[in-house]
Amino acid sequence: MKWKGGQPAGEDESLCCCEYVDRQGEKSHLLACCCDCAELDQACDRWLKRESLDPGSVSRVAETVSDRLRVPWLSGARRVDLTVLPPLVLLPVLLHVAALHFLLGLVVLATLPALVLWYYYVTHRKKGRTLFFLSLGLFSLVYMYYLFLTEVVPKGDVGLLQLAAITVGLVLTLAALAQTKKDPGYLRSQPPPPPAGAHSTVTYPPERAGPGGVPNGARHEVLFLNGASHSELGRASGDQERVKKNWCPACRVVRPPRAGHCRICAACVQRLDHHCVWINSCVGQANHRCFLLTLLLFLLTALYGISLTLGSVCPRQSVLIALLYCPGVYQHYSSALCFTCAWYCSIVTGGLLHLFVLQLINVSYNVTEREARLALREKTGRRRLWGMIVDTGIYTRGFRKNWVDFLSMGGLGPLPQRLTDLV
């Protein structure tokens, strides 16, 4: 079925809330999402005839479905990433299935982390961006809070102050996460500042591009140091080598010390620590402190919520004993669901607690996760406590000064210059 309304979209043409520009550059409508499905029709026809599918047909069908899966928005229908949907469906289903029986709960709670780790391994190898982990984390927070309100609070064991503490903790965690999601410290190129001495700008044609990894046709700032001493010339030569060493051809910037290029975000970040899939962003100089604050708020809120839930489900047991042994909890489905969610939250909290401890150790030694991996790869760092501590010995200034530097470091340093040749 072919929709006849597809027209090329103009640059200044406004869209209503249900219209959008598809991947062919034509204006389309949400009501026409089932029209013009040539790829899907061909794939279904070959499947019904038991013929082999074209190797690229599945990818084309997936691209078409992904392009047409949209929601209405003020400035035009917004595209919905397909990786957002699986957690919204699988998490409630798996938790309710796990609450049916003890053995089912054991299988689900053992399989779910394994599947998440497997998907992380697959996406990490491909260096691709995905919203699966961010969707899983946000939906877990909201869904656990919903079950807490509908299953735990009606039992009468949670007071208003305790409910207010959980609510405030959840709101603060989401606010800190929103702040962490902002610019982590991306490096953006800018023209170099005018030097004190005479200078000249030279544009090399493609056939005369320099051999130092400089892009063809790049503009160079050439400084003429008239009457310079040998020490000044040597310092200029050293600066030239440093610039070429730290030059990022993808971002076209000169990286300052401790900056790194993230292949997932396709950008250079100041004091890059790592790319966190749970926030779908990098952790760098501008958001590292907010990242630690988000982890701390989540851990405090989750631990308090787990203790309240277990205290309501197993009032005669202590929290630690109730998590391991709670007799009769599977006699009522509501209690079994609360107990299953408490175990799920405990698994997630344990993983994030491990990450939080590693971050605290790295800050204490003034080393980033990226620097620790490079030191282990190049065998220049010292490992302690079964690899939890990696001491590079480069930037550390002692425990107290390392924490003072971390808490007082600015959001963004000076922007880097473009590649320059000093003569």
Q: How far is CA 17 from the centre of its chain?
A: 29
Cβ neighbour number for residue 281 with a 10 Å cutoff: 22
Helix/strand/coil for 25: coil
Q: How far is CA 80 from the centre of its chain?
A: 17
Give 257's Cβ-side CA count (13 Å radius).
3
Q: Which residue out of 37, 248, 262, 276 is catalytically annotated?
A: 276
> Buried (b) or exposed (e) across 43-62, using 16+ Cβ within 10 A?
beeeeeeeeeeeeebeeebe
Closest CA to 252 of 237, 266, 271: 266
Angstrom distance (rounded) from CA 346 to CA 163: 19
Look at the block and give the residue holding tokens 């990433």.
81
> Buried (b) or exposed (e) across 192-207, using 16+ Cβ within 10 A?
beeeeeeeeeeeeeee
- Does residue 276 carry a catalytic annotation? yes
Q: Which residues are catalytic?
A: 276
